[in-house]
Structure 1
Amino acid sequence: MADLQAEFEQAQKDVETLSQRPSNDDLLALYAHYKQAIEGDVSGKRPGMTDFKGRAKYDAWARLKGMEADKAKHGYVTKVGALLDADRG
């Protein structure tokens, strides 16, 4: 578990080194996996229809409901790795 935590923390640093901004879908996946890993299941009220960004983030996170923190961390690390590989060409 300590290794996964270290990988998760490194992935958070590595994602900042991307030369191109990830797609909105990739950003939502990163956001959802990060939030699920750190906070657990989504909480609070779903944002209203005029808050497109907030609603998309809420929905992405809600799709991971019930996922264990370690699995969410692994998903985050995997996604960052794929983005880094694509970034390097």
Structure 2
Amino acid sequence: MKNITEQLKETIVEELYEIETSEGCHEDYIEDYETELDFYLSNVMSDTYETYVKEYCSENFDIAISNELTFKIIDDLIDKIKDNN
């Protein structure tokens, strides 16, 4: 497994943030949630998001990431969504 830089991790978080805060990237609707924040976090909080992040990194950056790094990326993404919405 390749170690990634902090800058690459931040790039991944930023790209995932752009995806998750775009209504068109969700299969459900913002109107189905009490708040926009709940909507934006809906995918990130799902049980399958860990797999999504690993596949995203593999397909877009040609890297395999550890479970620990996956959860760090998810935690950083949740914080970014909460801070900006």
Q: TM-score, normalised by structure 2?
A: 0.36
Q: TM-score, normalised by structure 1?
A: 0.35
**Which structure has the greater CA radius of gyration?**
1
